[in-house]
Structure 1
Amino acid sequence: VTGTSTGFGRQLAELVLQKGEKVVATARRPSVLDDLVSKYPSNRLLVLKVDVNVPQDIIDAFAATKDKFGRLDVVLNNAAYVVMGELEAVPEEEARKLFDTNFWGAICVSREAVKFFREVNAPGVGGRLLQNSSIAGIIGREGMTYYVASKHALEGASKCLAAELDPAWNIKVTIIEPGSFHT
Protein backbone atom coordinates (compact mmCIF):
# COMPACT_ATOMS: atom_id res chain seq x y z
CA VAL A 1 0.00 0.00 0.00
CA THR A 2 1.51 3.31 -1.03
CA GLY A 3 0.70 6.45 0.90
CA THR A 4 -0.11 4.89 4.27
CA SER A 5 0.66 7.97 6.37
CA THR A 6 -2.97 9.15 6.42
CA GLY A 7 -6.34 8.76 4.79
CA PHE A 8 -7.41 5.76 2.74
CA GLY A 9 -3.96 4.16 2.77
CA ARG A 10 -3.67 4.28 6.54
CA GLN A 11 -7.23 3.05 7.07
CA LEU A 12 -6.84 0.18 4.63
CA ALA A 13 -3.51 -0.92 6.10
CA GLU A 14 -5.06 -1.02 9.58
CA LEU A 15 -8.16 -2.88 8.37
CA VAL A 16 -6.13 -5.53 6.55
CA LEU A 17 -3.89 -6.02 9.60
CA GLN A 18 -6.96 -6.33 11.86
CA LYS A 19 -8.22 -9.08 9.53
CA GLY A 20 -5.00 -11.04 10.18
CA GLU A 21 -3.37 -10.44 6.81
CA LYS A 22 0.14 -9.24 5.97
CA VAL A 23 0.80 -5.65 4.90
CA VAL A 24 3.66 -3.77 3.34
CA ALA A 25 2.97 -0.17 4.35
CA THR A 26 4.94 2.50 2.52
CA ALA A 27 5.28 6.16 3.38
CA ARG A 28 7.70 9.01 2.82
CA ARG A 29 7.94 9.34 6.61
CA PRO A 30 7.67 5.79 7.99
CA SER A 31 7.93 7.01 11.59
CA VAL A 32 4.25 8.05 11.37
CA LEU A 33 3.49 4.32 11.34
CA ASP A 34 5.36 3.57 14.58
CA ASP A 35 2.08 2.86 16.38
CA LEU A 36 1.33 0.07 13.88
CA VAL A 37 4.86 -1.29 14.21
CA SER A 38 4.40 -1.56 17.98
CA LYS A 39 0.95 -3.14 17.62
CA TYR A 40 1.59 -5.79 14.94
CA PRO A 41 4.32 -8.43 14.65
CA SER A 42 7.06 -8.05 12.05
CA ASN A 43 5.98 -11.26 10.34
CA ARG A 44 2.75 -9.46 9.36
CA LEU A 45 3.82 -5.85 8.87
CA LEU A 46 6.69 -4.44 6.86
CA VAL A 47 7.02 -0.65 6.93
CA LEU A 48 9.18 0.91 4.23
CA LYS A 49 10.28 4.41 3.35
CA VAL A 50 9.03 5.03 -0.17
CA ASP A 51 8.65 8.25 -2.08
CA VAL A 52 6.82 7.31 -5.29
CA ASN A 53 8.75 10.11 -7.02
CA VAL A 54 11.97 8.14 -6.46
CA PRO A 55 12.00 5.08 -8.76
CA GLN A 56 14.74 3.36 -6.76
CA ASP A 57 12.57 3.55 -3.61
CA ILE A 58 9.87 1.65 -5.50
CA ILE A 59 12.28 -0.97 -6.83
CA ASP A 60 13.78 -1.43 -3.36
CA ALA A 61 10.33 -1.80 -1.80
CA PHE A 62 9.39 -4.64 -4.12
CA ALA A 63 12.75 -6.33 -3.45
CA ALA A 64 12.23 -6.00 0.32
CA THR A 65 8.73 -7.44 -0.05
CA LYS A 66 10.11 -10.42 -1.94
CA ASP A 67 12.79 -10.96 0.69
CA LYS A 68 10.33 -10.68 3.59
CA PHE A 69 7.22 -12.44 2.31
CA GLY A 70 8.25 -14.21 -0.92
CA ARG A 71 5.09 -13.16 -2.72
CA LEU A 72 2.66 -10.30 -3.14
CA ASP A 73 -1.02 -10.65 -3.94
CA VAL A 74 -2.35 -7.09 -4.00
CA VAL A 75 -0.81 -3.66 -4.61
CA LEU A 76 -2.78 -0.50 -3.83
CA ASN A 77 -1.58 2.63 -5.61
CA ASN A 78 -2.81 5.17 -3.11
CA ALA A 79 -0.15 7.88 -2.76
CA ALA A 80 -1.65 11.12 -4.03
CA TYR A 81 -2.59 14.60 -2.97
CA VAL A 82 -4.82 17.50 -3.99
CA VAL A 83 -3.84 21.03 -4.95
CA MET A 84 -6.84 23.31 -4.82
CA GLY A 85 -6.98 26.07 -7.40
CA GLU A 86 -8.18 26.95 -10.83
CA LEU A 87 -6.09 26.20 -13.90
CA GLU A 88 -4.58 29.67 -14.09
CA ALA A 89 -4.06 30.05 -10.34
CA VAL A 90 -1.82 27.04 -9.67
CA PRO A 91 1.86 27.58 -10.47
CA GLU A 92 3.10 25.18 -13.14
CA GLU A 93 5.83 23.81 -10.88
CA GLU A 94 3.25 22.87 -8.26
CA ALA A 95 0.99 21.25 -10.88
CA ARG A 96 3.90 19.23 -12.27
CA LYS A 97 4.84 17.99 -8.79
CA LEU A 98 1.27 16.84 -8.29
CA PHE A 99 1.36 14.95 -11.61
CA ASP A 100 4.71 13.42 -10.67
CA THR A 101 3.14 11.92 -7.55
CA ASN A 102 -0.44 11.20 -8.59
CA PHE A 103 0.25 9.92 -12.10
CA TRP A 104 3.93 9.11 -12.67
CA GLY A 105 4.41 7.70 -9.18
CA ALA A 106 1.44 5.39 -9.69
CA ILE A 107 2.75 4.37 -13.13
CA CYS A 108 6.17 3.47 -11.71
CA VAL A 109 4.54 1.41 -8.95
CA SER A 110 2.27 -0.25 -11.54
CA ARG A 111 5.24 -1.30 -13.69
CA GLU A 112 7.01 -2.89 -10.74
CA ALA A 113 3.80 -4.54 -9.51
CA VAL A 114 3.10 -6.17 -12.87
CA LYS A 115 6.70 -7.34 -13.09
CA PHE A 116 6.50 -8.82 -9.56
CA PHE A 117 3.14 -10.52 -10.18
CA ARG A 118 4.44 -12.04 -13.42
CA GLU A 119 8.03 -12.91 -12.48
CA VAL A 120 8.11 -13.50 -8.71
CA ASN A 121 4.74 -15.03 -7.91
CA ALA A 122 4.27 -18.61 -9.04
CA PRO A 123 3.10 -18.98 -12.67
CA GLY A 124 -0.61 -18.28 -12.99
CA VAL A 125 -0.93 -16.83 -9.47
CA GLY A 126 -0.74 -13.27 -10.75
CA GLY A 127 -2.05 -10.53 -8.53
CA ARG A 128 -4.38 -7.57 -8.28
CA LEU A 129 -3.35 -3.98 -8.89
CA LEU A 130 -5.73 -1.52 -7.25
CA GLN A 131 -5.61 2.05 -8.53
CA ASN A 132 -7.08 4.54 -6.08
CA SER A 133 -8.48 7.09 -8.47
CA SER A 134 -11.40 9.44 -7.84
CA ILE A 135 -14.85 10.01 -9.20
CA ALA A 136 -13.52 13.52 -9.85
CA GLY A 137 -11.28 11.96 -12.49
CA ILE A 138 -14.43 11.07 -14.40
CA ILE A 139 -16.81 13.96 -13.80
CA GLY A 140 -14.38 16.81 -13.14
CA ARG A 141 -14.57 19.36 -10.38
CA GLU A 142 -13.92 23.08 -10.45
CA GLY A 143 -10.99 24.27 -8.41
CA MET A 144 -9.26 20.89 -8.68
CA THR A 145 -8.06 21.04 -12.28
CA TYR A 146 -4.70 19.33 -11.87
CA TYR A 147 -5.88 16.70 -9.40
CA VAL A 148 -8.77 15.81 -11.71
CA ALA A 149 -6.44 15.67 -14.72
CA SER A 150 -3.98 13.42 -12.87
CA LYS A 151 -6.74 11.00 -11.89
CA HIS A 152 -8.21 11.04 -15.41
CA ALA A 153 -4.75 10.17 -16.78
CA LEU A 154 -4.40 7.35 -14.25
CA GLU A 155 -7.80 5.98 -15.27
CA GLY A 156 -6.82 5.94 -18.95
CA ALA A 157 -3.43 4.35 -18.34
CA SER A 158 -5.00 1.73 -16.06
CA LYS A 159 -7.58 0.77 -18.68
CA CYS A 160 -4.82 0.43 -21.28
CA LEU A 161 -2.67 -1.63 -18.91
CA ALA A 162 -5.56 -3.98 -18.16
CA ALA A 163 -6.07 -4.56 -21.89
CA GLU A 164 -2.34 -5.14 -22.49
CA LEU A 165 -1.87 -7.87 -19.88
CA ASP A 166 -1.70 -11.47 -21.08
CA PRO A 167 -4.66 -13.33 -19.50
CA ALA A 168 -2.34 -16.25 -18.68
CA TRP A 169 -0.55 -14.01 -16.17
CA ASN A 170 -3.77 -13.68 -14.13
CA ILE A 171 -3.03 -10.04 -13.28
CA LYS A 172 -6.12 -7.93 -12.67
CA VAL A 173 -6.31 -4.13 -12.62
CA THR A 174 -9.10 -2.51 -10.63
CA ILE A 175 -9.84 1.20 -10.60
CA ILE A 176 -11.36 2.50 -7.36
CA GLU A 177 -13.33 5.74 -7.70
CA PRO A 178 -14.25 7.03 -4.26
CA GLY A 179 -16.28 10.19 -3.94
CA SER A 180 -15.45 13.05 -1.62
CA PHE A 181 -14.09 11.97 1.77
CA HIS A 182 -12.38 13.95 4.50
CA THR A 183 -9.01 12.22 4.71
Structure 2
Amino acid sequence: MNTSKVWYITGASQGLGLTLVKELLRKGDRVAATSRNAHVLRQAVELIDSDRFLPLSVDLSNPDCVEESVQQTLSAFGRIDVVVNNAGYGMLGTLEDATEQDIRNIFGINVLAAMRVVKQVLPVMRRQRSGYIINIGSVAGFAGAPGWSVYAATKAAIAAFSEVLASDVKEFGIHVTVVEPSGFRTGFLAQDSLAMIPVTGEDYNAVKDSRDRYLAANGKQPGDPDRAAAILIDLSEADDPPLHLFLGEDAYRRATEKLTVMSAALERWKTVAIKADFPL
Protein backbone atom coordinates (compact mmCIF):
# COMPACT_ATOMS: atom_id res chain seq x y z
CA MET A 1 0.00 0.00 0.00
CA ASN A 2 1.37 3.43 -0.95
CA THR A 3 1.54 5.56 2.22
CA SER A 4 3.09 8.64 0.64
CA LYS A 5 1.14 11.87 0.81
CA VAL A 6 -0.56 13.44 -2.17
CA TRP A 7 0.12 17.17 -2.56
CA TYR A 8 -1.65 19.71 -4.74
CA ILE A 9 0.52 22.82 -5.21
CA THR A 10 -0.26 25.98 -7.17
CA GLY A 11 2.31 28.33 -8.64
CA ALA A 12 4.85 25.55 -8.89
CA SER A 13 7.01 26.51 -11.87
CA GLN A 14 9.36 28.78 -9.91
CA GLY A 15 10.33 30.00 -6.46
CA LEU A 16 9.17 28.24 -3.32
CA GLY A 17 6.59 26.19 -5.22
CA LEU A 18 9.20 24.65 -7.49
CA THR A 19 11.61 24.03 -4.62
CA LEU A 20 8.86 22.29 -2.65
CA VAL A 21 7.81 20.11 -5.60
CA LYS A 22 11.37 18.91 -6.18
CA GLU A 23 11.92 18.07 -2.52
CA LEU A 24 8.62 16.20 -2.22
CA LEU A 25 9.39 14.10 -5.29
CA ARG A 26 12.87 13.41 -3.97
CA LYS A 27 11.41 12.05 -0.72
CA GLY A 28 8.84 9.91 -2.53
CA ASP A 29 5.56 11.77 -2.16
CA ARG A 30 3.13 12.24 -5.03
CA VAL A 31 2.57 15.72 -6.38
CA ALA A 32 0.03 17.42 -8.60
CA ALA A 33 1.47 20.82 -9.46
CA THR A 34 -0.12 23.68 -11.35
CA SER A 35 1.31 26.34 -13.60
CA ARG A 36 0.04 28.41 -16.48
CA ASN A 37 2.19 26.15 -18.69
CA ALA A 38 2.61 22.48 -17.77
CA HIS A 39 5.43 22.05 -20.29
CA VAL A 40 7.48 24.77 -18.62
CA LEU A 41 6.73 23.20 -15.24
CA ARG A 42 7.76 19.76 -16.43
CA GLN A 43 11.07 21.13 -17.73
CA ALA A 44 11.72 23.00 -14.49
CA VAL A 45 11.11 19.91 -12.34
CA GLU A 46 13.24 17.70 -14.63
CA LEU A 47 11.39 14.50 -13.73
CA ILE A 48 9.40 12.15 -15.92
CA ASP A 49 7.46 9.96 -13.54
CA SER A 50 3.73 9.85 -14.16
CA ASP A 51 3.28 7.61 -11.14
CA ARG A 52 4.32 10.39 -8.77
CA PHE A 53 4.25 13.69 -10.67
CA LEU A 54 1.28 15.29 -12.39
CA PRO A 55 2.06 18.68 -14.00
CA LEU A 56 -1.11 20.60 -14.79
CA SER A 57 -1.79 23.64 -16.95
CA VAL A 58 -4.33 25.55 -14.90
CA ASP A 59 -5.92 28.96 -15.32
CA LEU A 60 -6.58 29.77 -11.67
CA SER A 61 -8.99 32.53 -12.68
CA ASN A 62 -11.30 29.93 -14.20
CA PRO A 63 -13.34 27.91 -11.65
CA ASP A 64 -14.05 25.15 -14.19
CA CYS A 65 -10.33 24.80 -14.89
CA VAL A 66 -9.56 24.56 -11.17
CA GLU A 67 -12.27 21.93 -10.70
CA GLU A 68 -10.92 19.91 -13.61
CA SER A 69 -7.40 19.98 -12.17
CA VAL A 70 -8.65 18.65 -8.83
CA GLN A 71 -10.53 15.86 -10.61
CA GLN A 72 -7.39 15.01 -12.62
CA THR A 73 -5.46 14.78 -9.37
CA LEU A 74 -8.03 12.43 -7.88
CA SER A 75 -8.03 10.29 -11.03
CA ALA A 76 -4.26 10.01 -10.91
CA PHE A 77 -3.68 9.59 -7.17
CA GLY A 78 -7.05 8.82 -5.56
CA ARG A 79 -6.85 11.44 -2.79
CA ILE A 80 -5.47 14.83 -1.80
CA ASP A 81 -3.73 15.14 1.55
CA VAL A 82 -2.05 18.55 1.42
CA VAL A 83 -2.91 21.66 -0.56
CA VAL A 84 -0.41 24.51 -0.88
CA ASN A 85 -1.84 27.73 -2.29
CA ASN A 86 1.43 29.26 -3.41
CA ALA A 87 0.43 31.10 -6.59
CA GLY A 88 0.70 34.85 -6.30
CA TYR A 89 2.78 37.90 -7.04
CA GLY A 90 3.75 41.24 -5.53
CA MET A 91 2.70 44.77 -6.39
CA LEU A 92 4.91 47.70 -5.47
CA GLY A 93 3.72 51.28 -5.76
CA THR A 94 1.03 53.63 -4.47
CA LEU A 95 -2.71 53.11 -4.40
CA GLU A 96 -3.14 56.39 -6.27
CA ASP A 97 -1.12 55.11 -9.20
CA ALA A 98 -2.61 51.60 -9.31
CA THR A 99 -5.40 51.17 -11.83
CA GLU A 100 -8.67 49.46 -11.02
CA GLN A 101 -7.58 46.56 -13.23
CA ASP A 102 -4.22 46.32 -11.42
CA ILE A 103 -6.08 45.88 -8.15
CA ARG A 104 -8.58 43.38 -9.55
CA ASN A 105 -5.78 41.33 -11.12
CA ILE A 106 -3.76 40.88 -7.96
CA PHE A 107 -6.79 40.08 -5.82
CA GLY A 108 -7.83 37.58 -8.49
CA ILE A 109 -4.63 35.58 -8.15
CA ASN A 110 -3.54 36.21 -4.57
CA VAL A 111 -6.97 35.77 -2.97
CA LEU A 112 -9.73 34.46 -5.23
CA ALA A 113 -7.59 31.72 -6.80
CA ALA A 114 -6.75 30.30 -3.37
CA MET A 115 -10.42 30.34 -2.44
CA ARG A 116 -11.34 28.54 -5.66
CA VAL A 117 -8.83 25.79 -4.94
CA VAL A 118 -10.00 25.35 -1.35
CA LYS A 119 -13.64 25.31 -2.46
CA GLN A 120 -12.93 22.40 -4.82
CA VAL A 121 -10.75 20.47 -2.39
CA LEU A 122 -12.89 20.72 0.73
CA PRO A 123 -15.46 18.08 -0.33
CA VAL A 124 -12.57 15.68 -0.94
CA MET A 125 -10.98 16.31 2.45
CA ARG A 126 -14.32 16.15 4.25
CA ARG A 127 -14.96 12.71 2.78
CA GLN A 128 -11.47 11.64 3.82
CA ARG A 129 -11.97 13.15 7.30
CA SER A 130 -8.45 14.48 6.97
CA GLY A 131 -6.39 17.04 5.10
CA TYR A 132 -4.09 19.99 5.45
CA ILE A 133 -4.39 23.37 3.73
CA ILE A 134 -1.34 25.64 3.62
CA ASN A 135 -2.00 29.14 2.34
CA ILE A 136 1.08 31.19 1.54
CA GLY A 137 0.54 34.66 2.91
CA SER A 138 3.14 37.26 3.83
CA VAL A 139 4.31 39.17 6.86
CA ALA A 140 3.18 42.17 4.80
CA GLY A 141 -0.39 41.11 5.49
CA PHE A 142 0.20 41.75 9.18
CA ALA A 143 3.06 44.22 9.36
CA GLY A 144 3.52 45.85 5.98
CA ALA A 145 5.95 48.38 4.54
CA PRO A 146 5.42 51.56 2.47
CA GLY A 147 4.60 50.88 -1.18
CA TRP A 148 2.96 47.52 -0.61
CA SER A 149 -0.57 48.59 0.35
CA VAL A 150 -2.50 46.64 -2.29
CA TYR A 151 -0.31 43.56 -1.98
CA ALA A 152 -0.60 43.72 1.82
CA ALA A 153 -4.37 43.88 1.50
CA THR A 154 -4.40 40.61 -0.47
CA LYS A 155 -2.25 38.85 2.11
CA ALA A 156 -4.29 40.21 5.01
CA ALA A 157 -7.34 38.75 3.26
CA ILE A 158 -5.62 35.37 3.00
CA ALA A 159 -4.77 35.44 6.71
CA ALA A 160 -8.36 36.29 7.72
CA PHE A 161 -9.73 33.68 5.33
CA SER A 162 -7.41 31.04 6.78
CA GLU A 163 -8.33 31.86 10.38
CA VAL A 164 -12.07 31.41 9.88
CA LEU A 165 -11.64 28.48 7.50
CA ALA A 166 -9.67 26.67 10.20
CA SER A 167 -12.58 26.94 12.61
CA ASP A 168 -15.05 25.88 9.90
CA VAL A 169 -13.25 22.64 9.04
CA LYS A 170 -11.68 21.59 12.34
CA GLU A 171 -14.47 19.09 13.04
CA PHE A 172 -13.56 17.20 9.85
CA GLY A 173 -9.96 16.62 10.88
CA ILE A 174 -8.72 19.27 8.43
CA HIS A 175 -5.91 21.61 9.52
CA VAL A 176 -5.13 25.05 8.10
CA THR A 177 -1.95 27.10 8.30
CA VAL A 178 -1.24 30.51 6.83
CA VAL A 179 2.51 30.84 6.29
CA GLU A 180 3.64 34.47 6.47
CA PRO A 181 7.24 34.80 5.27
CA SER A 182 9.53 37.78 5.03
CA GLY A 183 12.09 38.05 2.23
CA PHE A 184 13.14 34.80 0.54
CA ARG A 185 15.37 34.31 -2.50
CA THR A 186 12.59 33.10 -4.77
CA GLY A 187 12.58 35.61 -7.62
CA PHE A 188 9.65 37.44 -6.00
CA LEU A 189 11.34 40.81 -6.63
CA ALA A 190 12.46 39.98 -10.16
CA GLN A 191 11.31 42.27 -12.98
CA ASP A 192 9.17 39.59 -14.63
CA SER A 193 7.47 38.58 -11.36
CA LEU A 194 6.74 41.88 -9.64
CA ALA A 195 4.05 44.33 -10.73
CA MET A 196 5.81 47.69 -10.56
CA ILE A 197 3.45 50.66 -10.39
CA PRO A 198 5.35 53.86 -11.34
CA VAL A 199 5.12 56.52 -8.65
CA THR A 200 3.92 59.65 -10.46
CA GLY A 201 3.52 62.00 -7.50
CA GLU A 202 6.28 64.34 -6.43
CA ASP A 203 5.89 63.26 -2.82
CA TYR A 204 5.62 59.70 -1.49
CA ASN A 205 9.24 59.71 -0.38
CA ALA A 206 8.60 56.82 2.00
CA VAL A 207 7.27 54.71 -0.87
CA LYS A 208 10.17 55.60 -3.14
CA ASP A 209 12.73 54.82 -0.43
CA SER A 210 11.01 51.51 0.31
CA ARG A 211 10.90 50.63 -3.41
CA ASP A 212 14.62 51.31 -3.84
CA ARG A 213 15.49 49.34 -0.72
CA TYR A 214 13.46 46.29 -1.71
CA LEU A 215 14.68 46.22 -5.31
CA ALA A 216 18.28 46.49 -4.13
CA ALA A 217 17.69 43.47 -1.88
CA ASN A 218 16.69 41.19 -4.77
CA GLY A 219 18.88 38.08 -4.64
CA LYS A 220 20.19 39.03 -1.20
CA GLN A 221 17.15 38.17 0.92
CA PRO A 222 18.01 36.15 4.05
CA GLY A 223 15.28 33.54 3.52
CA ASP A 224 16.39 30.16 2.13
CA PRO A 225 13.72 28.45 -0.07
CA ASP A 226 15.20 25.01 0.61
CA ARG A 227 14.82 25.50 4.36
CA ALA A 228 11.31 26.88 3.87
CA ALA A 229 10.31 23.82 1.82
CA ALA A 230 11.68 21.51 4.51
CA ILE A 231 9.63 23.38 7.14
CA LEU A 232 6.43 22.99 5.09
CA ILE A 233 7.06 19.27 4.79
CA ASP A 234 7.63 19.01 8.54
CA LEU A 235 4.38 20.91 9.14
CA SER A 236 2.51 18.33 7.07
CA GLU A 237 3.67 15.65 9.52
CA ALA A 238 2.66 17.57 12.66
CA ASP A 239 -0.37 16.47 14.66
CA ASP A 240 -1.26 20.06 15.58
CA PRO A 241 0.29 22.50 13.10
CA PRO A 242 0.11 26.24 13.85
CA LEU A 243 -2.61 28.44 12.41
CA HIS A 244 -0.08 31.23 11.80
CA LEU A 245 3.59 30.70 11.02
CA PHE A 246 5.73 33.78 10.50
CA LEU A 247 8.68 32.48 8.50
CA GLY A 248 12.09 34.14 8.71
CA GLU A 249 13.73 36.20 11.44
CA ASP A 250 12.55 39.47 9.88
CA ALA A 251 8.97 38.22 9.80
CA TYR A 252 9.20 37.16 13.44
CA ARG A 253 10.65 40.55 14.43
CA ARG A 254 8.06 42.59 12.54
CA ALA A 255 5.17 40.54 13.87
CA THR A 256 6.47 40.76 17.44
CA GLU A 257 6.92 44.52 17.22
CA LYS A 258 3.41 45.01 15.86
CA LEU A 259 1.84 42.80 18.51
CA THR A 260 3.57 44.87 21.19
CA VAL A 261 2.29 48.12 19.69
CA MET A 262 -1.21 46.71 19.23
CA SER A 263 -1.39 45.42 22.78
CA ALA A 264 -0.37 48.80 24.16
CA ALA A 265 -2.90 50.60 21.94
CA LEU A 266 -5.70 48.23 22.99
CA GLU A 267 -5.09 48.98 26.64
CA ARG A 268 -4.73 52.71 26.05
CA TRP A 269 -8.09 52.91 24.28
CA LYS A 270 -9.91 50.26 26.32
CA THR A 271 -12.17 52.70 28.15
CA VAL A 272 -13.23 54.27 24.85
CA ALA A 273 -13.83 50.89 23.23
CA ILE A 274 -16.14 49.56 25.92
CA LYS A 275 -18.20 52.77 26.03
CA ALA A 276 -19.80 51.69 22.73
CA ASP A 277 -21.89 48.96 24.44
CA PHE A 278 -25.29 49.43 26.06
CA PRO A 279 -24.92 49.96 29.82
CA LEU A 280 -25.43 46.78 31.85
TM-score of the superposition, structure 2-length normalised? 0.61
SS in 1 for 2:110: helix
Q: 2:134 aligns with which of 130, 147, 155?
A: 130
Task: Find the counterpart in structure 2 of residue 116 from structure 1.
Answer: 124
CA positional deviation for 1:118: 1.1
CA positional deviation for 1:29: 1.2
1:32-83: per-residue Cα shift (whole Å, max 9, x none)?
1223565241100001111211111110011001110001110000110111
CA RMSD of aligned residues (A): 1.3
Distance 1:83 1:58 in 2: 24
Task: Find the counterpart in structure 1 of residue 29 from structure 2.
Answer: 21
Distance 2:44 2:153 in 1: 33
Structure 1, unmatched stretches of 5+, are none
Distance 2:123 2:22 in 1: 26
Distance 1:37 1:140 in 2: 33
Structure 2, unmatched stretches of 5+, are 1-8, 187-280
SS in 2 for 1:63: helix
The residue type equivalent to 1:175 in the other structure is V
Distance 2:140 2:164 in 1: 19
Q: Over alpha carbons, which structure has the higher Rg?
A: 2
1:127-170: per-residue Cα shift (whole Å, max 9, x none)?
00000011111101211111110000010011011111251x11
TM-score of the superposition, structure 1-length normalised? 0.92
Task: Find the counterpart in structure 2 of residue 75 from structure 1.
Answer: 83
> 2:22·2:45 contact (CA, 8 Å) conserved in 1?
no
Task: Find the counterpart in structure 2 of residue 165 from structure 1.
Answer: 169
1:177 aligns with 2:173: no
The residue type equivalent to 1:137 in the other structure is G
Task: Find the counterpart in structure 1 of residue 144 from structure 2.
Answer: 140
Moved over 3 A (4+): none
The residue type equivalent to 1:79 in the other structure is A
SS in 2 for 1:90: coil
Go from structure 1 to structure 2 and tell me whether the alpha carbon gap of 1:83 and 1:36 turns closer, same or farther (over 3 Å shift): closer
Task: Find the counterpart in structure 1 of residue 226 from structure 2.
Answer: none
Task: Find the counterpart in structure 1 of residue 39 from structure 2.
Answer: 31
The residue type equivalent to 2:173 in the other structure is N
- Percent identical: 36
